[in-house]
Amino acid sequence: MKNRSGEPLPDAVGWIVLGSIFGLLAGCGGSSSNAPLQADLALTAEDSFNADRLRQLYRKLSQMAEPMRQTSVRESPPLRVQIPTSQGDEVLHFALVRNAAGDYPHLRIARPKTDEHVNFVYGGSISQGITLRLTDDNGRLLQRDGRPLEFRLFDSSTRTRAPQDWISTGIRIAALAFLVWIGAVVARGVAAAVGFVAFNLIVLGILAAGLGVAIPVIRWFLENSGIDWETVRRFVEQTAETIIALLREVVNWLAAQR
């Protein structure tokens, strides 16, 4: 693992970063003396990481998505996620919303500390590939350092992936998008953990919308990925060893992108 200047980090530091990823799920469904009361999930390196807490995480995500099956519901209850940053801990608010950025359930992350927010919506086309777009609430594409925040997500010519491969790819892109949006204040390990939660929540929101959604790229994804509610549940509830291996891959992949 390397730092942002390209210098290698000691292995011990790498494991500390990975430990903070695993603490995300450790904070789910249990109390922590280090987590503020307003956080539902906290990134820490102190608690254990096990299948029971993974199941609790899936329940939280599915409980957010389930009400969005009703088109009259415009916003899910929030999921408050505490993250460590270079300026101290802060809490982000995750929600599934319908708004001007996308009239289907999609992820919106708010950052109360800076009064920033971002919508994760689908873009692109079936012929040229599906993208993940980061927009404001009116659907305007955000930029960082002059770079439009639009990321190639899926090549629609590829139809041979297993459902879990679609999710694994999405986690990588969601983690990269989050890291670019929030900037150098978080470690790659934190971005990988956020990507894990974010993309699973994005997919559950799309499943809640179902095939009735009028957006071609979403219909294509639902028809070709083979992902359903049970697929997401199984993915989130995989053994700790499998999730650890995946998140380490995402951390290394993020390092290669920067």
Q: What is the pLDDT of residue 54?
A: 74
Amino acid residing at 186: V
pLDDT at residue 38 in the model: 73
222-239 in b/e form (b: 16+ CB < 10 A) is: beebebeeebbbebbbee
pLDDT of residue 24: 53
pLDDT of residue 244: 83
Please name the residues in contact with 155: beta carbons below 8 A apart, sequence gap of 6 or more.
Answer: 129
Domain borders along the chain are 11-257
pLDDT at 25: 52
Give me the helix-helix angle, 163-182 and 240-257, nearest 10°: 50
d(CA 202, CA 25): 18
Is residue 153 within 8 A of residue 116, CB to CB? The reply is no
What is the rounded distance in angstroms from the CA atom of residue 110 to the CA atom of residue 114? 9
* Chain centre distance of CA 214: 24
Q: Report helix angle 11-26 to 51-65, nearest 10.
A: 60
Q: The whole model's pTM is what? A: 0.85
* Separation CA 215–CA 133 (nearest Å): 14
pLDDT in tens, the chain (258 residues): 444 444 444 343 344 444 545 555 555 554 444 544 477 887 553 444 556 777 788 999 999 999 999 999 999 999 999 888 888 899 999 999 999 999 999 999 999 999 999 999 999 988 888 999 999 999 999 999 899 999 999 887 766 689 999 999 999 999 999 999 999 899 888 899 899 999 999 999 999 998 778 789 998 888 889 999 999 999 999 888 888 889 889 999 999 986
Question: CB under 8 Å to 177, separation ≥6 — which residues?
Answer: 120, 132, 134, 149, 151
Q: Of 145, 192, 211, which is closest to residue 43 (Cα–Cα)?
A: 192
**Look-up of token digits 């599934």:** 96
- From residue 43, alpha-carbon distances to 25, 57, 123, 136, 190 in Å are 8, 13, 30, 26, 8
